[in-house]
Amino acid sequence: MAVLQNSIPSLHHTLFINSFPQKGLQKLSHGAFLSCKTSVSLHVRAEHLSSLAASSSSSSHFQEICGRRQIIAAGITAPLVSIVDQTPTAFAAETKKGFLPVTDKKDGYTFLYPFGWQEVVIEGQDKVFKDVIEPLESVSVNLIPTNKQDIRDFGSPQEVAETLIKKVLAPPTQKTKLIQAAEHDVDGKAYYTFEFITRAPNYTRHALTAVSIGNGKFYTLTTGANERRWDKMKDRLMTVVDSFKIFNV
């Protein structure tokens, strides 16, 4: 674990997006950019938006929200499908109903994300997709260089999970709890997956993470949702984590 501890400053800079303001552009999947003035953390913004949606008691407002979700989802799907159709099947994540695949042929990874989630650009993140109404529901992929060849070189699943959760994946002001951690192999490559909870004063987030090593990089995929929506979202989020694969480039 000493090796992973030594990597924490770099990991923290690359992966930790919840403890400092983000400045950047919000990218729609058809290539257009919207200015994004983000002066608070993703989690705070997410909970604020979720609270606004939840507090609405007007049926007309509820219909407006649902309609907006459908319009946005429809608007981003067609361009994504046209891109996906051009992806070689050898690299693409296995298609599943209700999900869209992402394949990064440059960095060598692929995964699925739920239909309707929108791609956004966040500094320090290689890929981020989130729900347009519930921004706490998201998936992000990060990678940093490493000279290790196997994730097991950093320690056991529990050791790696505890270190990443406490030092990288949650702000130091939040309480965290590791629920479970496990190892599995895909095509001879080792992956660690773990489930954890982070508690802030005004919300609790339930998350899943997968980590692995390949192509000289340490890959981390994290997805999650507000605890109040975990029972509804957990199967979809588990599909996202299980779909994450690395291939040689």
CA angle 172, 177, 183 (to 5 degrees): 115
Domain count, the chain: 1
How far from 196 is each of 14, 103, 215, CA to CA, in Å?
20, 26, 27
129 falls within a domain: yes
Phi-psi region of 216 (alpha: psi -120 to 50; beta: other; left: phi over 0): left
The CATH number linked to 126 is: 3.40.1000.10
Alpha helices in the chain (DSSP H): 2-15, 42-55, 59-84, 157-164, 230-243
Residues in the chain: 249
Q: By percentage, how much of the chain surpasses pLDDT 70?
A: 62
* DSSP state at residue 213: E
Q: What are the C-alpha distances in Å from 15 to residues 12, 37, 43, 77, 181? A: 5, 20, 14, 27, 19
What is d(CA 214, CA 248) in angstroms, rounded to the nearest whole number? 7
Contact 196, 178 (CB under 8 A): yes
Any domain includes 79 = no
pLDDT at 221 over 60: yes
Q: To 5 degrees, how large is the angle CA 190–CA 224–CA 186?
A: 15
Residue 135 is assigned to a structural domain of this protein: yes
Confidence of residue 67 (pLDDT cuts 50, 70, 90): low
- How would residue 135 be classed by pLDDT, with cut points 50, 70 and 90? confident
Compute the average pLDDT of residues 135-140.
Answer: 95
Collapsing DSSP to helix, strand or coil, 166 comes out as helix
- With contact defined as beta carbons under 8 Å apart, do 151 and 190 qualify? yes
Write out pLDDT tens, residues 170-214: 999 999 999 999 999 999 999 999 999 999 999 999 999 999 999
pLDDT tens-digit readout, 80-117:
333 333 344 444 556 789 999 999 999 999 999 999 99
Does residue 240 or residue 15 have the better pLDDT?
240
Asked if pLDDT for residue 25 goes beyond 90, the answer is no
Residues 174, 41 contacting (CB under 8 angstroms): no
| C-beta atoms surrounding 230 within 10 Å | 16
Q: 80, 66, 89: which is closest to 115 by C-alpha? A: 80
Alpha helices in 85-177 (DSSP H): 157-164
pLDDT at 61 over 70: no
Average pLDDT over residues 108-131: 96
Query: What residues make up the domain containing 242?
Result: 99-246
Domain assignment present for residue 167? The answer is yes
- Of 143, 167, 137, 145, the closest CA to residue 240 belongs to 137
Residue 165 in this model has a pLDDT that exceeds 90: yes
Q: Does residue 20 surpass a pLDDT of 70?
A: no
Q: Establish if 86 belongs to a structural domain.
A: no
Looking at per-residue confidence, does 9 or 133 come out higher? Answer: 133
Neighbouring CB atoms inside 10 A of 153's CB total 13
Q: Which range among 48-62, 146-160, 213-227, 231-245 shows the weakest confidence by mean pLDDT?
A: 48-62
Residue 165 lies in a domain: yes
From CA 186, how far away is CA 190, in angstroms rounded?
A: 7
Is 172 contained in some domain? yes
C-alpha closest to that of 170 among 196, 144, 146, 133 = 196
Asked whether the beta carbons of 36 and 26 are under 8 A apart, the reply is yes
Of 227, 186, 174, nearest to 210 by C-alpha is: 186
Q: What local confidence, expressed as pLDDT, does residue 215 receive?
A: 97
pLDDT band at 220 (very low <50, low <70, confident <90, very high): very high
pLDDT band at 1 (very low <50, low <70, confident <90, very high): low
For the segment 132-150, the average pLDDT, to the nearest whole number, is: 95
